[in-house]
Chains A and B, each alone.
Chain A
Amino acid sequence: MTWPAEVSAYFWSGFLWRGALLSVEITAVAMTIGLFLGLLLALVRLSPIRLVSSAAWFYTWVVRGTPQLLQLVFIFDALPLIGIKFGSFTTAVIGFSLNQAAFAAEVIRGGILSVNAQQTVAASSLGMGPVLTLRRIVLPQAMRAILPALANDTIGMLKMTSIASVIFVDELTFRSQEIVGQNFKFFTVFAGAGMIYLVLTSIISLSQAGLERWLDPERRATLRLPRWLSGLAQPQALAAATLTQTELAALLPVAAVKSSEQAIPFVVCHNVWKGYGGRKVLTGAALTVHAGEVVAVIGPSGSGKSTLLRLINHLDSIDQGEITVAGRYVGYVKQDGRLKPTGGRARARAEVGVAMVFQQINLFGHMTALENIMEAPIHVHGLPRAQAEAEARRLLEVVGLTGHAHHYPQHLSGGQQQRVAIARALAVKPRLMLFDEPTSALDPELMGEVLSVMRTLAEAGMTMIIVTHEIRFAREVADRVLFFDGGVVVEEGSPSEVLDRPRKERTRRFLNLITQGTGVMPEAAAPFHASTRPS
């Protein structure tokens, strides 16, 4: 037999393929278990509790730091001495999964850390709990970073199963060695076995490429929606105003708020204190907002405005004081006269009906505009998919983005993204909307479209707290303006009181500073985008 014929004969050898099948079986089972354990381990490693994260670190340290061959022999030959006896296949699966868990944990942890933390904040603000956020928002985005490393691990494991021959696993490499031990034709035998490995690892590589393609939102988008079709749906310059107030009101739970809870203030912040690492940000801030009221909060950067918003929907916990929304604490219980944070904050947020729009927008990067909006209604509020989609499409109409339903955030302008974010917040039917400098990250020419949507909302009777630098917008839309500085409310009143006739010197200074860029007085400061933010 010529050597190519011999290599081919070994490549087609059923004896070797049965060994390969064993390697594949061990790899498949061990990889599945290893990934699951690895995910748990990664989460434990990310735990804020020191003892818990140290335990996971210790496990990783031991398992990664000792040879796998010794681990296998230990499980197979040492555990029987204390009465625990596993067969060779089971031992291999246990050994390889435990090992994979340690390696995968680090890979998964890296993937999770690679996802912008703001994505979690945004999900949380929509009422999504930690597990849901991990499953729907963080892991799908982390997967793109995790996958190449996991494919490496899978290929590595498939080949590493050969070391299990010391524990009676009769796999591919060992079988080829057995043949060589009998006939010494190492070149042709190993070449044939090598080709079998190549076939198997190629399948893994191809699966990796396929999965990467599937995880890439852009390429997935082209798969789902052919170019010629998406071309038909041209972006519409449709203004939000085209929707009637009654139509919009139907989408919002505003009416319910007004009838039942008008009597008591909807949001009450009383003597709120908050510090970060010794720096006091809020020093006894107080705020009352009635249902249906639009309150604009202005003030210098770093004055604690945004922090107050984050405390109202409990994205951060307060140090002292009290905050109630619709008469209840959001994710706190009162204990010994102080508020103590509890679990289930996301749930509480969803129940009370608080939604938030962020300066950094924070749309979910792996979802289309439509999917971003549908996410919380389906997975938090349990809406049927069809209904959620219908409502999401109407909300897109409200914000004037009908043609962009299937576009991913990276293909939308900043203004369009922020309008999707507003629609996403509205989709959970909030009774209170918090806006944290929603136009600060936008180019001046894109601010108008966002502010226009917000104006429509205000007119529809939504309760809103808006942290903003757009003085003219505040004047037009707000029922009340608060000037915030040094962690407290310095002055508050109607827009004309605070903006035109400020009583406090600090307010006056701030307003002068902020309108200096335009060279006009606040009451005349025309375009929203002409303002300069104080540094």
Chain B
Amino acid sequence: MRLLVLSLILLAAGGFHSAAKAAVPAECQDVAKKYPSLAGKTLHMGADPQTPPYASLDPENPGKLVGSDIDLAKAVFDCIGVKYEIQPAAWSGLFPAVLAGQIDLMYYLYYNKSRVEKGDFIVYMKAGTGAITQAGNPKHIISGEDLCGKIVATGLGSVEEAQMRELSTKCTTSGKSAVEVMTYSDHAAGFRLVANDRADIMLTDLALVDKTVADNPKTYVRAYGVISGFQIGVAVKKGNTELEGAILDAMKAVQAAGIQKQIFAKYGVDPSLELPAELKTN
């Protein structure tokens, strides 16, 4: 019952959004025609609202999600011409829900070998890692070389955690002190580790670091940033070819119209991180 009411509200909200949205690129006409099976459907997308600037609560209206991924997703949905629902959930629950078919897709998942065995990816941006430290950079960290012997906070199970474990071994073999890795379960907890001097530095998504520094210049500073080799994509259940095709085509249209760059700029994400849309199935 409750679910029904909730879905109706979300549906109504979703419908309102698609109606209010203007400026759909001309190429989108073809996308809608090419995938008629999606017409009239409601796509379910999951997002973790603890990942600004990609997805977070709208400070003006906490019932609503905003962010670059949210805007990009909406632009792509509108281009396909489908209704949609965006549901908030904890990050670790998102990809399992995609694989189980509880939701249709999620944004901002790092593409890698083991994940692509389970799901298909439409990559749309390059990953950047930012290192955030206390304002004034008291430990003088300016690159990854400086991390031996430091306390580094990373997300639990993240690529940064794996990199740091690897770096730690390198540090000790070359006679330097090991890296002490502290993991956190949500970004806010990680930032608190740095603010409270429990960690010297925190490694996470570059755009998130830049946004946090911009919002709290008295507390944090960016120590350094790197564009890593990783690609970030929309994850869908393996073999869902209609949906993959539609997202790929719509993403291409959105990128061609310059909409993705506009959205990135709006949320403080470096527009040069855009990656030409591409389907990855292995």
Contacts and interface: CB of A to CB of B under 8 A. Distances in A.
A binds B: yes
Interface of A: 13, 15, 18, 25, 73, 76-78, 80-81, 85, 87-90, 165-170, 174-175, 177-184, 186
Contacts of B192: 186
A321 to B, nearest CB: 61
A186 B101 contact: no
Interface in B68-91: 87-90
B100 A76 contact: yes
Contact of B89 (A87, A170, A183): A170
Given A76-B100, A77-B100, A183-B59, A178 B88 contact: yes
Interface residues of B, number: 33
B102 interface: yes
> Max chain A CB contacts within 10 Å: which of B56, B57, B87, B188?
B188
Contact of A174 (B59, B90, B101): B90
List of 5 A-B pairs having minimum Cβ-Cβ separation, nearest first:
A181-B50, A166-B93, A77-B100, A15-B62, A165-B90
B3 interface: yes
8 contacts: A15-B63, A77-B97, A80-B102, A181-B49, A181-B188, A184-B188, A184-B215, A184-B216
Contact of A76 (B92, B102, B188): B102
Contact of B93 (A89, A167, A177): A167
Nearest to B215: A184
Nearest to B2: A89
A181 B100 contact: no
Contact of B97 (A168, A170, A183): A168
B49 A73 contact: no
B212 to A, nearest CB: 7
Contacts, number: 94
A181 B187 contact: yes
A182 B100 contact: no
Interface string B1-24: 011000000000000000000000
A80 B101 contact: yes
B241 to A, nearest CB: 20
A168 B96 contact: no
Contacts of A13: 62
A77 B3 contact: no
A13 B63 CA distance: 11
A13 B62 CA distance: 10
Contact of A73 (B56, B93, B188): B93
Nearest to A25: B2
B191 interface: yes
A170 B212 contact: no
Nearest to A174: B90
Contacts of B215: 184
B52 A182 contact: yes
B51 A167 contact: no
A512 to B, nearest CB: 80
Contacts of A178: 49-50, 56-57, 62, 88
Interface in B16-73: 46, 49-52, 56-57, 59, 62-63
Nearest to B219: A184
A180 B46 CA distance: 19
Given A181-B51, A181-B52, A186-B192, A85 B101 contact: yes
B59 A182 contact: yes
B186 interface: yes
A85 B44 CA distance: 15
Given A81-B100, A167-B97, A168-B46, A180 B188 contact: yes
Contacts of B3: 87-90
A13 B57 CA distance: 14
A78 B2 CA distance: 23
Contact of B96 (A25, A73, A182): A73
Nearest to B44: A168
A483 B161 CA distance: 87
Given A15-B62, A80-B100, A168-B103, 11 more contacts: A18-B63, A80-B102, A167-B93, A168-B102, A169-B89, A175-B62, A177-B188, A179-B57, A181-B50, A181-B186, A183-B59
B126 to A, nearest CB: 23
A15 B63 CA distance: 7
A166 B2 contact: no
Given A25-B2, A89-B3, A181-B50, A166 B101 contact: no
Contacts of B46: 168
Contacts of A183: 59
Contacts of A85: 100-102
B59 A167 contact: no
Interface string B91-113: 01100110111110000000000
A166 B50 CA distance: 13
